[in-house]
């Protein structure tokens, strides 16, 4: 249904556009250009894209160019065609600039949220953990002065406290891995590689060359993506080696995680292998949030190559 309406509107617009263009050729004056602007605006609100506008222009062109022109005429007509087209595209220029602005605002917002997450994470990690430690001490003190059977009851409460502590720690880590602030990105990645290596039994090599300080958001994203990718490798790739490489290129940061495992099974990604698919989805979303792109393909001579490119603010 929706498709039909859009098609209908598109046809109607193409028709009006061709008429407008003919008017402009017959009388190259402001009213026709104002009409071009209106048509562009209408196309925009109807949900047409710039490419569709190009098609509409091109169709209108072929309809007016069927006759033959003298040489002088032809240059004149071509100029008119261009003017009319530019006029019809100016509303798109407005929106386009609007999207740039919105994008910049989103980036700033992202940084603000990241800063907030950082503060909450450190409050959870440091302050709440300290308070819990004091509670532990206080309880231990009370327990030492109770008869043994009563002290045992307190033990259960202390077990619950331990659980709370663990949960807070996990939550803090989810929000912003504290190690990023304690050690910095590259040592944090090396540490991550080591612990993955110990836990899952494949080697992880981290190689990085970064010249400038990255924003907290970019750091956290790179850390999480690497963790997610290494977890994927651990669970599915049957690899013996994973290489994490972090390179700063002109205006962007390139992060690739390559393994020598069984390689990518595209069908498994789409169908059965939910856990791997979800991990990838998360990586994709995190990358997209920073305006970056993701490539997933085979690694040479074997395994998988996941490469992420994230633009850096200029």
Partner 1 sequence: MADHMADKDGEARVRIRSSADIMAARQQGRALASQGGFSSSDLSIIASAISEVAQNIVQYANSGEIIITLINNTTKKGVEIVAADQGPGIGDVSRVMRDGYSTGKGLGIGLPGAKRLMDEFEIASEVGKGTTVRMKKWVT
- CB of 231 closer than 8 Å to CB of 255: no
Site for partner 1 contains 91 (CB under 8 A): yes
Residues 15, 69, 75, 98: which binds partner 1 (CB under 8 A)? Answer: 98
Question: What length does the chain have?
Answer: 314
Among positions 118-147, residues that touch partner 1 (CB under 8 A) are none
Q: Kindly compute the dihedral angle of the four CA atoms of residues 285, 288, 292, 294, in this order, to the nearest 10 degrees.
A: 40
Residues 12, 27, 30, 282: which binds partner 1 (CB under 8 A)? Answer: 30
Q: Kindly compute the dihedral angle of the four CA atoms of residues 39, 40, 44, 47, in this order, to the nearest 10 degrees.
A: 60
Is the Cβ of residue 80 or residue 283 nearer to partner 1 in the bound state? Answer: 80
Window of 29-37, 54-62, 140-148, 169-177 that interacts with partner 1 by CB under 8 A = 29-37
Q: How far apart are CA 79 and CA 83, in angstroms?
A: 6
Residues 9, 10, 23, 41: which binds partner 1 (CB under 8 A)? Answer: 41
Is the Cβ of residue 101 or residue 141 nearer to partner 1 in the bound state? Answer: 101
Residues 90, 130, 195, 271: which binds partner 1 (CB under 8 A)? Answer: 90
Cβ density class 46-85: b for 16+ within 10 Å, e for less: eebeeebbeebbeebbeebeeeeeeeeeeeebeebbeebb
Residues 73, 93, 174, 313: which binds partner 1 (CB under 8 A)? Answer: 93
- Beta carbon of residue 112, minimum distance to partner 1 (angstroms, whole number): 19
Give the three-state DSSP class for 300. Answer: coil
Q: How far apart are CA 51 and CA 153, in angstroms?
A: 72
Residues 5, 7, 45, 62: which binds partner 1 (CB under 8 A)? Answer: 45
Site for partner 1 contains 87 (CB under 8 A): yes
Q: Tell me how many residues contact partner 1 (CB under 8 A).
A: 23
Site for partner 1 contains 27 (CB under 8 A): no
Alpha helices in 176-313 (DSSP H): 178-183, 185-200, 216-232, 266-270, 274-289
Contact residues: partner 1, CB under 8 A: 29-31, 33-34, 37-38, 41, 44-45, 83, 86-87, 90-91, 93-95, 97-99, 101-102
């Amino acid at each position: 249904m929706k498709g039909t309406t859009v098609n209908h509107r598109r046809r109607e617009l193409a028709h009006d556009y061709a008429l407008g263009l003919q008017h402009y050729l017959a009388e190259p004056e402001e009213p026709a250009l104002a009409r071009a602007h209106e048509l562009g605006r209408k196309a925009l609100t109807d949900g047409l894209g710039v490419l569709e506008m190009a098609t509409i222009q091109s169709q209108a062109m072929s309809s007016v160019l069927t006759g033959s022109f003298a040489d002088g005429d032809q240059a004149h007509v071509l100029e008119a065609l261009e003017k009319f087209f530019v006029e019809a595209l100016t509303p798109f220029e407005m929106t386009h600039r609007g999207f740039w602005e919105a994008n910049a605002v989103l980036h700033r917002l992202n940084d603000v949220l990241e800063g907030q997450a950082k503060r909450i994470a450190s409050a959870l990690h440091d302050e709440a953990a300290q308070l819990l430690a004091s509670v532990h001490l206080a309880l231990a003190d009370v327990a030492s002065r109770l008869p043994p059977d009563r002290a045992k009851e307190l033990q259960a409460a202390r077990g619950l406290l331990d659980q709370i502590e663990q949960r807070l720690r996990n939550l803090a880590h989810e929000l912003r891995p504290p190690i990023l602030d304690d050690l910095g990105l590259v040592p944090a990645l090396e540490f991550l590689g080591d612990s993955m290596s110990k836990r899952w039994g494949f080697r992880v090599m981290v190689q990085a060359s970064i010249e400038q300080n990255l924003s907290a958001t970019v750091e956290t994203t790179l850390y999480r993506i690497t963790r997610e990718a290494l977890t994927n490798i651990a669970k599915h790739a049957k690899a013996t080696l994973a290489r994490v490489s972090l390179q700063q290129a002109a205006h962007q940061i390139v992060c690739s995680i390559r393994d020598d495992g069984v390689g990518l099974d595209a069908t498994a990604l789409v169908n059965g292998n939910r856990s791997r698919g979800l991990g990838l989805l998360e990586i994709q979303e995190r990358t997209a949030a920073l305006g970056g792109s993701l490539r997933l393909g085979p690694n040479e001579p074997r395994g998988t190559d996941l490469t992420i490119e994230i633009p850096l603010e200029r």
